[in-house]
Amino acid sequence: MTGRRRLGLIAAAATLLAAAPLSSIFDSWTWLFQSILTVVLIAGAAVAARTLRFPTWAQTIAMIFALVLALTWIFPSGKELLIPQPATFTHFADLIRQAGEDTRSYGVPVPDRDGLLFVAVLGIGAVAIVVDLLTAVFRRPALAGLPMLAIYSIPVAVYLDSVPVFPFIIGATGYMWLLVADNVDRVRRFGRRFTGDGRDVDVWEPSPLASAGRRLGMVGVLVAVLLPLAVPTVSGGLLTRLTQSGSGIGLGPGGTGNGQINLFAALSGQLTQNATINIIKVRTNEREPFYLRFGVADVLNADGVGNTAPRGNPMSEGLADPSTQASTDRATYTEYEAEIEVADGLRQNMLPVYNYPTGVDGLKGNWSYDGGQQVLYSTKSTTGNQKYKVTYLRPRYTAAQLRTAEPLDESNGLYREFTAVPADEAVQTRVDELIEDEDTDYDKVRAIYDSFSSKNGFKYNLSTQNTGTASDIAAFLQNKSGYCQQYAAAMTWMVRAAGIPARVAFGFTRGTALDDNTYQITNRNAHAWTEVYLDGFGWVPFDATPAGNVQGSTRSSWAPDVESPAPEASSSAGAAAPGAESSAAPGGVERPEQANDGGGTALDEGVVPDDGSWTPLLVVAGIALFLAILLIPAFRRALLRRRRHAATTGGPAPAVSSTSGVAGDITVTTESARAREDAHAAWDELIDTMVDFRVPVDPTETPRVTTQRLVRDNLLTDNPAEAAALLGRAEERARYARQPMQGAELTAALRQVRTGLAGTATFRTKARATLIPPSVLLSWRLTIADQSGRAAEAMSRLRESASRFNPRRLLSRSR
Partner 1 sequence: MTTPTWGEPAGPLTNAEFATATQAIMANIEQVIEGKSATVRLALAVLLAEGHLLIEDVPGVGKTKLAKALARSIDCSVRRIQFTPDLLPSDVTGVSVYNQETRDFEFKPGAVFANLVVGDEINRASPKTQSALLECMEERQVTVDGTTYELQAPFMVIATQNPIEMEGTYPLPEAQRDRFTARIAMGYPDPRAELAMLSGHGDHDPLTDLRAVTDAAMVRRLIATARDVHAAEAVQQYAIALVTATREAPEIRLGASPRSTLQLLRTAKAVAALEGRDYVLPDDLQALAVPVLAHRIIPTADAQLNRRTTDTIVSEIVHRLPLPHDRARNPYDTRDGRTPTSYESRGR
Closer residue to partner 1 in complex, CB, 303/688: 688
Cβ-based neighbours of 592, under 8 Å, separated by 6 or more: 464, 465, 466, 472, 475, 479, 481
Compute the least distance from the CB of residue 136 to partner 1, in Å.
Answer: 22
Helix spans in 252-403 (H): 263-272, 399-403
- 90/87 Cα distance (integer angstroms): 5
- 746/707 Cα distance (integer angstroms): 14
Closer residue to partner 1 in complex, CB, 522/707: 707
- 355/333 Cα distance (integer angstroms): 11
Compute the least distance from the CB of residue 650 to partner 1, in Å.
Answer: 20
Instruction: Determine contact, residues 748/730, Cβ cutoff 8 Å.
Output: no
DSSP per residue, 216-256 = HHHHHHHHHHHHHHHS--TT--HHHHHHS-S--STT--TT-
Compute the least distance from the CB of residue 644 to partner 1, in Å.
Answer: 13
Closer residue to partner 1 in complex, CB, 447/730: 730
| Backbone phi and psi for residue 174, each to the nearest 5 degrees, phi listed first | -60, -45
- Exposed, middle or buried, 776 (CB in 10 Å: 0-12/13-18/19+)? buried
Closer residue to partner 1 in complex, CB, 591/694: 694
Cβ-based neighbours of 549, under 8 Å, separated by 6 or more: 460, 483, 577, 580, 581, 582
Closer residue to partner 1 in complex, CB, 6/781: 781
Residues 722, 728, 734, 738, Cα dihedral to 10°: -80
- Exposed, middle or buried, 604 (CB in 10 Å: 0-12/13-18/19+)? middle
Compute the least distance from the CB of residue 638 to partner 1, in Å.
Answer: 19
Compute the least distance from the CB of residue 179 to partner 1, in Å.
Answer: 18
Compute the least distance from the CB of residue 665 to partner 1, in Å.
Answer: 10
Compute the least distance from the CB of residue 635 to partner 1, in Å.
Answer: 19
Closer residue to partner 1 in complex, CB, 154/687: 687
Compute the least distance from the CB of residue 631 to partner 1, in Å.
Answer: 22
Instruction: Determine contact, residues 56/137, Cβ cutoff 8 Å.
Output: yes
Compute the least distance from the CB of residue 713 to partner 1, in Å.
Answer: 12
Please measure the distance between the N-terminal and C-terminal CA atoms of the chain and give it in whole angstroms.
39
Instruction: Determine contact, residues 488/268, Cβ cutoff 8 Å.
Output: no
Closer residue to partner 1 in complex, CB, 417/671: 671
Give residues in contact with partner 1 (CB under 8 A): 186, 189, 191-194, 209, 659-663, 666, 680, 684, 687, 691, 694, 696-702, 704-705, 732-733, 735-738, 778-779, 782, 785
Q: With CA atoms as reference, report the closest residue to 554 among 279, 355, 305.
A: 355
Closer residue to partner 1 in complex, CB, 227/663: 663
Compute the least distance from the CB of residue 423 to partner 1, in Å.
Answer: 58
Strands 481-482 and 459-460: parallel
Closer residue to partner 1 in complex, CB, 297/725: 725
Closer residue to partner 1 in complex, CB, 206/699: 699
Compute the least distance from the CB of residue 194 to partner 1, in Å.
Answer: 3
Instruction: Determine contact, residues 67/25, Cβ cutoff 8 Å.
Output: no
Range 337-366 burial, b when 16+ CB lie within 10 A, else e: ebbbbbbebbbbbbbbbbbbbbebeebeee
Closer residue to partner 1 in complex, CB, 620/668: 668
DSSP per residue, 405-473 = PPPPPTTSHHHHHHS-----HHHHHHHHHHTTT--SHHHHHHHHHHHSSGGGT-EE-TT------HHHH
Compute the least distance from the CB of residue 462 to partner 1, in Å.
Answer: 58
- 504/527 Cα distance (integer angstroms): 10
Instruction: Determine contact, residues 35/121, Cβ cutoff 8 Å.
Output: yes
Closer residue to partner 1 in complex, CB, 423/666: 666
Compute the least distance from the CB of residue 142 to partner 1, in Å.
Answer: 19
Compute the least distance from the CB of residue 26 to partner 1, in Å.
Answer: 45
Compute the least distance from the CB of residue 696 to partner 1, in Å.
Answer: 5
Closer residue to partner 1 in complex, CB, 222/794: 794
Compute the least distance from the CB of residue 660 to partner 1, in Å.
Answer: 5
Q: C-alpha distances in angstroms, 761 versus 697, 753, 754, 769?
A: 16, 12, 10, 10
Instruction: Determine contact, residues 249/160, Cβ cutoff 8 Å.
Output: yes
Closer residue to partner 1 in complex, CB, 142/785: 785
Compute the least distance from the CB of residue 221 to partner 1, in Å.
Answer: 22
- 509/294 Cα distance (integer angstroms): 12
Closer residue to partner 1 in complex, CB, 35/707: 707
| Backbone phi and psi for residue 389, each to the nearest 5 degrees, phi listed first | -110, 135
| Backbone phi and psi for residue 723, each to the nearest 5 degrees, phi listed first | -65, -45
Peptide bond into 109 cis (omega under 30): yes
Cβ-based neighbours of 545, under 8 Å, separated by 6 or more: 452, 460, 483, 484, 487, 488, 527, 529, 553
Cβ-based neighbours of 299, under 8 Å, separated by 6 or more: 252, 253, 254, 305, 306, 307, 308, 420
Closer residue to partner 1 in complex, CB, 735/766: 735
Strands 299-301 and 313-314: unpaired
Closer residue to partner 1 in complex, CB, 627/663: 663
Compute the least distance from the CB of residue 706 to partner 1, in Å.
Answer: 10
- 812/89 Cα distance (integer angstroms): 66
Closer residue to partner 1 in complex, CB, 91/680: 680
Q: What number of residues does the chain have?
A: 815
DSSP state of 83: B
